[in-house]
Structure formats: structure tokens, C-alpha cells
Amino acid sequence: MGFGWMFIGVLFLEGVAFFPDVIGYLLILLGVKNASKHCEFFKNTEKMCYVGIVVSLFKLFYKLMDRMNIGLFGEIGGIVFGALYIAFTIAFYIVLFSAVSKIADFTGLPKLKSTALADMLLVTLFLSVSEILNLLISFSVSAIEAYSSLVAGTALLLSLLSTLLSAILVFQCYMRICLEGDEDMEKRKNNIKSPFDFYEKGKKSGKNKKKR
């Protein structure tokens, strides 16, 4: 269904990976397009992925210019863009989690649906608070100057938790949702294999060796 690629892509988004976010959106798009062949729940997520690719490319370009000391919009402009980027990230997660809740409901997985809805609230809260804390640091609010390292650490931790919750949710989809009647059909149809395909192939080979 493409959840393997989505899982890897989520890990590349804001919070965990040291790679550009655009890689994450490209990997998620690969998984979402595969899932969209079998259901319509991920159509909006696919559209958000395209927007995410464009926005994250601009973010990458902005960071490169900043490292070269070429200020495109100045300090305030950078802060505003960062806040808008987090707002888009929240919107993307909401759309993704909504798709997961729908497919979980369709496949009769009420616990997975509840987890998706809960994560929708938690990730929105965590990323919002994280950005607020970063804004307080950026504007050098006097009340937190003595605790700036603690505040920055808390903001990073909340961002990491958001990515972790998202990755766990998508991994649960990978483990529990497959095409009805043939769990291996998708792998035979899809010529592009994710690392999960090789992992499962290795597990099956190990089991066959034990039987012999």
C-alpha cells in the first residue's frame, strides 16, 4: 500500500533528520501515490505533498542563502517564514492523519483510527508550542533569557515527539493494512522496492531455512 515509503519519508521531515525536508515529501509522495491506486483516502495528502515539495525547496534555498550571508528577507522575514512553514507542516500532518483515520475506519481498525485522531491533536499542540518557544527565543524575551537553553531543548523535544508519533502511526498502518486477499500483491506489482520489502524477504528466507 505504500506505507513503507511514507514511514521513511516522515522520518525525514522537520524534527529528526539532518537532510532537507524535500526528500521526506518526495518519499511520502511515492508512498501516497501507491496507496491512491487502491483507495481515494490519500488524494488530499497527495496534493499536500506537491505543495510540501515546493515549500521545502524554498526553505532549502533560503537556508543556503542564509549560510552564504545573503539575507533575502532579513531576520524578521526569516522568522515569519519559519512560522508559516510550521503552520503548513501542521496542516500536512492533519491531512495525512485524516486519511489514516478514514482507511482505518474502512478496514475495521478502531484503535488505529483513535490513534490517528489523537495524534492529530497532539502533533498540532506539540508543533505549535515548539514554534511559540522558538519565537520567544528569537525575539529575546527577557523572561526566558536565563532559561534559553532549557526552552530551546524543550522546543526540540516537542518537535522530535511530533515526528516520532507520526512515524509510529504510519508504521502501524504498514504492519496492519494490506490489500484484501493477497498481502504480497502490492510488492509484485510495484517495481520500486522499499527497504521494508528486503526486510520481509529476509525474514521469509530465514523461516524457510529453519523449516528445512
Whether the CB-CB separation of 186 and 8 falls below 8 Å is answered with no
Q: What is the mean pLDDT of residues 75-90?
A: 88
- pLDDT greater than 70 at residue 197: no
Q: What pLDDT, on the 0 to 100 scale, is given for residue 202?
A: 56
Q: What pLDDT, on the 0 to 100 scale, is given for residue 113?
A: 94
Determine the Cα–Cα distance for residues 22 and 2; give it in Å rounded to an integer.
18
Q: For residues 196, 200, 205 and 207, what is the CA-based torsion angle, rounded to 10 degrees?
A: 150
- pLDDT greater than 80 at residue 210: no
Q: What is the mean pLDDT of residues 100-121?
A: 93
Q: What pLDDT, on the 0 to 100 scale, is given for residue 71?
A: 65
Q: What pLDDT, on the 0 to 100 scale, is given for residue 122?
A: 96
Predicted model pTM:
0.79
The residue whose grid cell reads 508519533 is 165
